[in-house]
């Protein structure tokens, strides 16, 4: 077995791992990145990027109906060319992938294609397929664990890739289903429910908690649920899946929820050869039998550490399989020189790509002997890219009260502004702050079109302990949706113009 030495070894080339590798190399360190699949990881190949590409197409489809129904544009949707849509998505992924590969190469990162397992605190054995043996790598400065996560599955509901799928294969399954049962009302479940509805499928969304996006502000869940129901999605919250089984025949009777959209084109050829029948216990009443062509299991993600041989470095996981850092400021574990980033981290890390980028920067800079500021987890924005979107940062109203804050809350419908009326999709801005113009902004919660693009100023407000008076000082362009954010702060600052408190 050959032996190699470098400054830093990173295991896993997803957003957490490749950002660590790039920054460390930019800072002059020798870096070896081990990846068993494709650099870019979940986010680029099975997560953020392909799903948002598809959701963009979904938005265009929804726009046809809006054009006709609201604006007199005599447009109809002819059909959806699934293969063309997929080709555009794949081209975006492929160009991003090439970009990441090029950046790693330009930075001088050695990328080893293989599966890594720890052989000691800073020594890694890499099985390289086809190379006829393993490589041994030792890190002088540090080892970074960035092996990410995979979809959680449920016993008895193992993915078949066809009728029972996870987010890993939902977008890659052949054709579009005519009906989908989505299990899980977190961000991924909501996005996929929204996407399939835009594509013309009958969609039922089942969430065990009392509300969708249970970690978000209750008003966000309420507005989102109302909007999804208006779009014809059947939303069952406080509902439990009792059991499910594959059905042989195509579920012609599956369309029990929602109202089919006349202009949604042919939602693909469907998935041939049957579907799934599930028994669901709703919050009230008797169990329902829901049949659908596809069951999408979106019940969370689990960290990936199998085969990693953490014990060789003296590391253990917590009860949920995460690798906890001993020091959240540097993300170093209890074993000196071993760091962890990305989805492998427990909360307060958030299982989000942009959080993992920030973690990668912190670890690389620490390894280079700098003293970076720790990741400010309280100010990481959270977005759901459904229609409508949700975006938030900081504390919900309930969490702020639970934390002992006295709070002032202001809610403004987006339709209170001219641009909100133009979009005509409802939505809101909700600000949670300490009372008074100079009180601290604790949380901002947005629902509506394009709110993913609107959250960043609120992120600065929360991160920089700004007050409503600070934000109200800044002029928002007219007419924009961001005006609603400005107006909400103006009111809390005691200077409301159109919304007079
Ligand atoms: P990963 O991206 O999972 O990368 C881990 C890498 O490690 C993988 O490439 C894997 O092959 C490799 N690996 C594992 N074990 C080994 C080993 N032993 N040896 C070698 N290599 C190994 N986040 C957002 O911020 N915005 C979004 O819009 C968003 N949308 C999402 C949509 C979906 C459907 C999903 C599933 C996730 C989404 N996320 C989103 C979450 C985001 O994808 C993750 O937070 C992010 O990918 C985590 O990065 P990571 O580097 O920790 O892990």
Beta carbons of 462 and 443 less than 8 angstroms apart: yes
* Contact present, 213 and 222 (Cβ < 8 Å): no
**What pLDDT, on a 0 to 100 scale, did the predictor assign at position 133?**
81
- Ligand 1, pocket-test mutation among 41, 382, 389, most atoms within 8 A of CB: 41
Q: How far apart are CA 177 and CA 201, in angstroms?
A: 7
Q: Which domains does the chain have, with CATH numbers?
A: 2-46+87-150+301-377 (3.50.50.60), 164-297 (3.50.50.60), 388-492 (3.30.390.30)
Closest to 491 measured CA to CA, from 446, 431, 440? 431
The conformation of residue 332, written as its DSSP 8-state character, comes to B
Q: How many angstroms does the Cα of residue 23 sit away from the middle of ligand 1?
A: 18
Which of the 8 DSSP states describes residue 414? G
Burial of 240 (0-12, 13-18, 19+ CB in 10 A): middle
pLDDT at residue 266 in the model = 41
* Nearest atom of ligand 1 to the alpha carbon of 192: 34
Residue linked to tokens 């008003």: 219
In the block, which residue shows the tokens 């049949």? Answer: 291
Scored b (16 or more CB within 10 A) or e, 295-330 reads bbbbbebebbbeebbbeebebeeeeeebbbbeeeeb
**Ligand 1 atom nearest residue 12's Cα:** 7
Contacts of 388 (CB under 8 A, 6+ apart): 223, 224, 227, 425, 426, 427, 447, 448, 449, 451
Question: pTM of the full predicted structure?
Answer: 0.94
pLDDT of residue 175: 82
Q: Under a CB-based contact definition with an 8 Å cutoff, are residues 397 and 217 in contact? A: yes
* 232, 262 contact by CB (below 8 A): no
Alpha-carbon gap, residue 190 to 182, rounded angstroms? 8
* Closest C-alpha to ligand 1, atom 46: 353
478 assigned to active site: yes
The reported pLDDT for the residue numbered 1 is 61
Helices (H) and strands (E) counted in the chain, each on its own, are 13, 22
Phi, psi of 251 (to 5 degrees): -80, 80
Q: What are phi and psi of 328, to 5 degrees?
A: -70, -20
Asked whether the beta carbons of 108 and 69 are under 8 A apart, the reply is no
Q: What tens-digit pLDDT sequence spans the chain (501 residues)?
A: 669 999 999 999 999 999 999 999 999 999 999 999 999 999 999 999 999 999 999 999 999 999 999 999 999 999 999 999 999 999 999 999 999 999 999 999 999 999 999 999 899 999 999 877 899 999 999 999 999 999 999 998 889 888 999 999 887 887 899 999 999 999 999 999 999 999 999 999 999 999 999 999 999 999 999 999 999 999 999 999 999 999 975 444 433 333 233 333 344 444 456 899 999 999 999 999 999 999 999 999 999 999 999 999 999 999 999 999 999 999 999 999 999 999 999 999 999 999 999 999 999 999 999 999 999 999 999 999 999 999 999 999 999 999 999 999 999 999 999 999 999 999 999 999 999 999 999 999 999 999 999 999 999 999 999 999 999 999 999 999 999 999 999 999 999 998 876
Ligand 1 center–CA 150 separation, angstroms: 8
Scanning the structure block, which residue is given the tokens 């969609």? 203
- Cα angle 232, 159, 210 (rounded to 5 degrees) comes to 45
374-404 in b/e burial notation, b at 16+ Cβ within 10 A?
Answer: ebeeebbbbbbbbbbbbbbbbbbbebbeeee
Active-site option among 245, 474, 478, 498: 478
Q: What is the secondary structure of 30-61 as a DSSP string?
A: -EEEEESS-TTHHHHHTSHHHHHHHHHHHHHH
Q: Cis peptide leading into 348, omega within 30 of 0?
A: yes
3-state DSSP assignment of residue 112: strand
Give the residues surrounding ligand 1 with Cβ less than 6 Å away.
11-17, 34-37, 41-43, 46-48, 51-52, 115-116, 146-149, 167, 188, 304, 307-308, 342-344, 351-354, 356
pLDDT number for residue 258: 32
Cα gap 393→402, rounded to integer Å: 17
DSSP class per residue in 258-314: S---TTS---TT--SS-EEEEEEE-SSSSPEEEEESEEEE-S-EEE--TTS-GGGGT
Nearest CA to ligand 1 atom 36: 47
- Residue to probe by mutation, ligand 1, list 114, 353, 453, most atoms within 8 Å of CB: 353
> How far away, in angstroms, is 476 Cα from ligand 1 center?
36
CA of 40 to the centre of ligand 1 (A): 8
User: What gap in Å lies between CA 10 and CA 8, rounded to an integer?
Assistant: 7
Q: Are 446 and 425 in contact (CB under 8 A)?
A: no
H or E element that contains 70: helix 48-71
Pocket test for ligand 1, best of 10, 11, 12, 173 (most atoms within 8 A of CB): 12
């Amino acid at each position: 077995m050959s032996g190699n030495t470098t400054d830093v070894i990173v295991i896993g080339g997803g957003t957490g791992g490749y950002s660590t590798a790039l920054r460390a190399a930019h800072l002059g360190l020798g870096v070896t990145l081990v990846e068993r699949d494709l650099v870019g990881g979940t986010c680029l190949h099975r997560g953020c990027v392909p799903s948002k590409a598809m959701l963009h197409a979904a938005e265009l489809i929804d726009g046809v109906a809006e054009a006709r129904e609201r604006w007199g544009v005599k447009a109809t949707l002819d059909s959806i060319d699934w293969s063309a849509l997929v080709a555009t998505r794949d081209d975006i992924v492929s160009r991003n992938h090439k970009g990441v590969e090029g950046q790693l190469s330009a930075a001088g990162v050695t990328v080893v294609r293989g599966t890594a397992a720890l052989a000691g605190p800073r020594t890694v054995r890499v099985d390289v397929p086809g190379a006829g043996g393993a490589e041994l790598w030792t890190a002088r400065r540090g080892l970074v664990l960035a092996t990410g996560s995979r979809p959680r599955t449920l016993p008895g509901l193992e993915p078949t890739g066809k009728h029972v799928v996870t987010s890993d294969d939902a977008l890659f399954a052949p054709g579009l289903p005519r009906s989908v049962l989505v299990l899980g009302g977190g961000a991924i479940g909501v996005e996929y429910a929204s996407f399939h509805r835009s594509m013309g499928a009958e969609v039922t969304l089942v969430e065990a908690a009392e509300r969708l996006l249970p970690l978000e502000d209750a008003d966000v869940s309420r507005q989102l649920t109302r909007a999804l129901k208006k779009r014809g999605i059947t939303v069952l919250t406080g509902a439990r899946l009792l059991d499910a089984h594959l059905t042989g025949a195509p579920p012609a009777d599956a369309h029990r929820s929602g109202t089919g959209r006349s202009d949604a084109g042919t939602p693909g050829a469907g998935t041939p050869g049957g579907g799934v029948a599930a028994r669901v216990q709703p919050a009230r009443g008797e169990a329902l039998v829901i049949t659908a062509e596809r069951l999408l299991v979106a019940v969370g993600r689990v960290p990936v550490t199998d085969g990693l041989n953490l014990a060789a470095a003296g590391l253990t996981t917590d009860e949920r399989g995460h690798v906890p850092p001993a020091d959240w400021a540097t993300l170093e574990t209890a074993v000196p020189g071993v760091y962890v980033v990305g989805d492998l981290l427990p909360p307060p890390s958030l299982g989000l790509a942009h959080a993992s980028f920030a973690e990668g920067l912190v670890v690389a800079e620490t390894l280079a002997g700098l003293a970076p500021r720790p990741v400010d987890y309280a100010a990481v924005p959270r977005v759901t890219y459904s229609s409508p979107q949700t975006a938030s940062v900081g504390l919900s109203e309930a969490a702020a009260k639970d934390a002992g804050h006295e709070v002032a809350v202001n809610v403004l419908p987006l339709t209170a502004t001219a641009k909100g009326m133009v979009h005509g999709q409802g939505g809101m801005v909700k600000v949670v702050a300490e009372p008074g113009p100079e009180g601290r902004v604790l949380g901002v919660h947005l629902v509506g079109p394009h709110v993913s693009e609107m959250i960043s100023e609120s992120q600065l407000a929360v991160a920089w302990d700004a007050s409503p008076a600070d934000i109200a000082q800044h002029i928002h362009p007219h007419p924009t949706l961001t005006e609603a954010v400005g107006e909400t702060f103006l009111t809390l600052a005691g200077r409301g113009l159109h919304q007079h408190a």
